[in-house]
Amino acid sequence: MAGSLNKVQLIGRLGADPEIKQMVNGKSVARLSIATSQSWKDKSSGERKEKTEWHRVVIFNEGLVNVVQQYVKKGANVYIEGQLTTRKWKDESTGQDKFSTEIVLQGYNSSLTMLDSKNSGSNSNLVSDNKSSLPNENINQDLSSLDDEIPF
C-alpha cells in the first residue's frame, strides 16, 4: 500500500471559549482546547476512575472560524476532523526551541460539527445520550497549565 494517512477525529468538550486571532495576512484563525475523557471501574478497588486528555485545535478554515466565533462556547460538545501537526518555534524568553502538537483544521479535509442543541440552536446533529466517553459538563481543570506561548 502506497501513501499515508494523517487524520484525527475527536468528540469532546471545549474547556474555554474559543480564541479568535487575526493573522498578518488578514485572515482569522481560531484556537480551541478540547477535552476527551475515558472512565472505567478499577478492578482492585471497585472505584470509578476517569482520565481526561486535553487537545489543542487550530482552525484555519475561514468558514469554520466564522461558525466557531458565532456559535461555539466553553462547554460545547463538538466533533472535529483534522490533521495532526507538530511545529517548532523558538521561545523568546529562553531562546530554546519548543514544539507544539496540534490538530489543524484547514482545507476540505476538515470538519467541525456542534453536537449540543443548546449551542447550535437546532436539533440537527444532536448527540446528547452518548456521554459515556465525554468529560463532565463541569470541567474544573486549570487551563493555565497549557502552553499558551504559541505565536500567531
Percent of the chain, pLDDT > 70? 75
Contact 101, 84 (CB under 8 A): yes
- Give the residue with greater pLDDT, 30 vs 144: 30
User: What's the pLDDT score for residue 107?
Assistant: 84
Contact 41, 49 (CB under 8 A): yes
Res 89 pLDDT > 90: no
Torsion of CA 125, 78, 38, 141, to 10 degrees: -150
Contact 88, 99 (CB under 8 A): yes
What are the residue ranges spanned by the domains of the chain?
8-40+48-134
Taking residues 119-146, report their average pLDDT.
Answer: 38
Cα–Cα separations (whole angstroms), residue 8 to 58, 68, 90? 13, 19, 26
Res 141 pLDDT > 80: no
CA distance 83 to 68: 18
Q: What is the pLDDT of residues 23-57, one digit of tens each?
A: 999 999 999 999 999 999 999 999 999 999 999 99
Res 127 pLDDT > 70: no
What is the maximal distance between C-alpha atoms in the chain?
56
Contact 125, 80 (CB under 8 A): no
Contact 103, 8 (CB under 8 A): yes
User: For residue 60, what is the DSSP state?
Assistant: -
CA distance 132 to 138: 15
Range in 53-57, 114-118, 148-152 the model is least confident about = 148-152
Average pLDDT along the chain = 81
Q: What is the pLDDT of residues 53-83, one digit of tens each?
A: 999 999 999 999 999 999 999 999 999 999 9
SS3 138: coil
Select from 3.90.10.10, 2.40.50.140, 3.40.228.10, 2.30.38.10 the CATH code of 8-40+48-134.
Answer: 2.40.50.140
Taking residues 128-139, report their average pLDDT.
Answer: 36
